[in-house]
Structure 1
Amino acid sequence: MSDTLSAPAGATRTGAAAPARAARSPMRFLKPLLLLALLALLLVLPLYVEEFWLRTGFAVAGAIVGAIGLNLLVGTTGQLSLAHAFFLAVGAVSYTFISGESGGLGTRAVLRGLGLPPIVGMVVGVLLAGLAGLLFSPIAARLRGIYLGVASLGLVFIGVHVLNTWTPVTGGFNGRSVPEFSLFGFSFGNDDPQLFVLGVPFREAERLWYLGLVLALAAYVFARNLLRSRPGRALQTLRDSEVAASVMGVNVQAYKARVFLVSSMYAGLSGVMYALSIGSIAPESFGLTVSILYLAMIVLGGLGSVAGAALGAAFVTALPLVFQQFADVLPLVSSPGEGGIAAGIAARYLFGAAVILVVLFEPGGLAGFANRFRRRGRAPGRGSPSASPASAADRPTDTDPSDPPAQGSSTR
């Protein structure tokens, strides 16, 4: 009797699963095709757009790297940190000192520099930023929530003080210029050697665009693979419950230290790219406002989402620059020195309001909107969008009451 009843049930499950797989199969190929199309567009974009957009793109790429690193710490592991600006400063200052030349400053101090190749300065800057995060991790391992945020805030104040007073290295209040980046004799900061692609001269802006694209793509791929690996799942468990993670065999202290190391290295690389994009470093470039902006990036993009962090970074970084570029046609927005609202202030008003709206209506951020759009039209459960209510009733769900209880559970 039981054998007779089990066969139709199995047939029903198989028959219901087949349409669902068929409905999902086009999306399986659509997403890679869209990603390839986007990559192709980014590769050919320097051939058609102006220098302003290329420089903006490099600034966005640097912000994407830093936002992904902060998202690994805050969104994936659940450790609130306001010290991201400090780690950006470590990377930027280290690169400038290691690859810069010694010379006069015009004041009582003389700038110092090691004059090493820029790639060495970049690598060492990233490693020193990671080391700074690793040294701070024992404090982070003993604090949670707002207490960790306040403790990390102290690093920002320390960093600003050091930038202002360590004049031979940082240039003091006035800052110092950043050496151009080059790799194996190929310069990304000038026209030497001259390069033409399809008749388009590839100057500094075009070269930095491709440098930023490669670094941002590498940071994105590494973060995605990290979250899909065993350490990534351990970090997510750590965010949900430290007690549960410890019971499952996760070394809580060690994983907190590792994620601070990785996040700080991301920030160090972002600091190097930020220094290259503006051409100089100054104490005001690494204040508390920068840390707040990076928090806004990951909240707008979606906590725990790598793609969301990239979208949030693009929104927060590019918006002030776009407002400044089109200040003459935007209402209430003015160019520097004129009446009205400055472009940077107007942009902060806008993405400040966006943060409030996201927190109120879509805590998942831009990534949450994307997920909602992807699920739009689907019936609850595992069914396909075209399934009828009658067929949905026939489909099994994860909480099917006819399924036998799991071993060790009890029923009443």
Structure 2
Amino acid sequence: MSESTATAARGSTASTARPAAAGPSQGRRLLRPLLLVALLVVLLLLPLYVEEFWLRTGFAAFGAIVGAIGLNLLVGNTGQLSLAHAFFLAVGAVSYVYVSGEPGGLGVAELSGLGLPPVVGMIVGVLLAGLAGLVFSPLAARLRGIYLGVASLALVFIGVHVLNAWTSVTGGFNGRAAPEFALFGFTFASRDPELYVLGVPFRESERLWYLGLVLAIAAYLFARNLLRSRPGRALQTLRDSEVAASVMGVNVQGYKARIFLVSSMYAGLAGVMYALSIGSIAPESFGLEVSILYLAMIVLGGLGSVNGAVLGALFVSALPLVFQRYADVIPFVGGRGEGGLAAGEAARFLFGTAIVLVILFEPAGLAGIARRVTGRGRRRPGGRVTESAPDTSSRSTSPVPSEKPAQGSTT
């Protein structure tokens, strides 16, 4: 057999073997969309089968997911430490209550309100929270690390003082009821109009479940698309090194201001959802502990991962409610007036333990564990879990110019 014939035979064998090698990878790529579709179907059908407690817990978790995604964009993907997330939640919640609330009296306090449609109040709450973040961003652009954290912490103390003092808007230490949400005449309360689906009455908890699901999915998709875009790559370059980002043409201060705007808008929407979940607002609901809990969400879930923010928010927001519901059957946890730890205290112990374990053994958080279990990531010596390298067996071996470095516009 001649050398040319042998070479052709080897090329033919390699060409026929490549599709077989690509088969499992193709199957994995198809499996993920199918699993996402199945998960969406389950979430859509869940209100038909579960009780009100789980639906209200789910809506609270959806609000936490929105807020955690926003904070992860700022801390995990840009590297800016912020403890002011509770303040921006308060701006969104208070704006919604004031814009959509009716004037009236509550004890010795005379409340004011604009009485506008709730959807307008939600939009105004998101925009005002973003504006507050934009106003704070020039200071954030000049600070980094612990100094930025301490500066942002001042916003929380200022916010709690304003909430207690501005009685006509916030109701003071007594708080204020949140208006029921409505969209194009359809109310998300238990009345008017009465709604039945397959014989199941759709009251406030069922309706709020779908509202929270839509808002959480929209927030998730926006964040994923943002990080995959040119500005998203610029933000990640900024996180790794501000000097390198500036050399590559990234407008450092401009991008810091924009990401503070986006993160604050996420927090404002989460604040509106929190007000709808609880049915009222109070100053103690937006203290430093809330900011710490949101940091715990993104650390447990995995810094820099949108999926991790979702997992961390589910864990941190739902766990205290589940502990409170099943306090009589969970060891060392008791209800009010009973022996054992309170549900909130038990949840904090578990959060602390989980954070220590994550930092020591899995810095990539719950998202890293999920990637390792599904085989989509591999561990590096430093402990980080990265996405698996794509299959290059079918690609040409000729040199291909690499992608240009991430650069951001200066406009």
1:396 positional shift: 11
1:5 positional shift: 12
Distance between the aligned counterparts of 2:225 and 2:173, measured in 1? 41
Cα deviation digits, residues 224-247 of structure 1 (max 9, x gap): 111111111111111111111111
**Aligned residue for 1:104?**
105
Per the alignment, do residues 243 and 383 of structure 1 end up closer, same or farther by CA in structure 2, a change over 3 Å counting?
A: closer
- Report if the CA contact (8 A) 1:13-1:396 is conserved: no
Identity %: 75
Mapping of 1:26-105 within 5 angstroms? Answer: 26-105=27-106
Gaps of 5+ in 1: 385-394, 408-412
**Aligned residue for 2:141?**
141
Q: Which amino acid in 2 is paired with 1:248?
A: M
Per the alignment, do residues 300 and 377 of structure 1 end up closer, same or farther by CA in structure 2, a change over 3 Å counting?
A: closer
**Aligned residue for 1:387?**
none
Name the count of aligned residue pairs.
392
1:406 positional shift: 9.4
Distance between the aligned counterparts of 2:35 and 2:200, measured in 1? 27
Cα deviation digits, residues 349-376 of structure 1 (max 9, x gap): 1121111101110000011011212337
Partner secondary structure for residue 76 of structure 2 = helix
Distance between the aligned counterparts of 2:328 and 2:135, measured in 1? 48
Gaps of 5+ in 2: 381-387, 403-411
**Aligned residue for 1:390?**
none
1:190 positional shift: 2.5
**Aligned residue for 2:291?**
291
**Aligned residue for 2:241?**
241
**Aligned residue for 2:405?**
none
- Report if the CA contact (8 A) 1:105-1:171 is conserved: yes
Distance between the aligned counterparts of 1:321 and 1:183, measured in 2? 28
Q: Which amino acid in 1 is paired with 2:61?
A: V
Partner secondary structure for residue 92 of structure 1 = helix
Partner secondary structure for residue 80 of structure 2 = coil
Mapping of 1:4-403 within 5 angstroms? Answer: 18-107=19-108, 109-375=109-375
- Report if the CA contact (8 A) 1:59-1:277 is conserved: yes
Q: Which amino acid in 1 is paired with 2:34?
A: L
Cα deviation digits, residues 200-226 of structure 1 (max 9, x gap): 000000000000000000000111111
Q: Which amino acid in 1 is paired with 2:332?
A: L
- Report if the CA contact (8 A) 1:324-1:335 is conserved: yes
Q: Which amino acid in 1 is paired with 2:369?
A: F
Q: Which amino acid in 2 is paired with 1:193?
A: P
RMSD of aligned alpha carbons: 2.8
- Report if the CA contact (8 A) 2:99-2:113 is conserved: yes
Q: Which piece of structure 1 moves more, 182-191 or 163-172?
A: 182-191
Q: Which amino acid in 2 is paired with 1:231?
A: P
- Report if the CA contact (8 A) 2:130-2:268 is conserved: yes
**TM-score after normalising by structure 1:** 0.89
Per the alignment, do residues 46 and 353 of structure 1 end up closer, same or farther by CA in structure 2, a change over 3 Å counting?
A: same
- Report if the CA contact (8 A) 1:191-1:202 is conserved: no
**TM-score after normalising by structure 2:** 0.89
Distance between the aligned counterparts of 2:146 and 2:10, measured in 1? 52
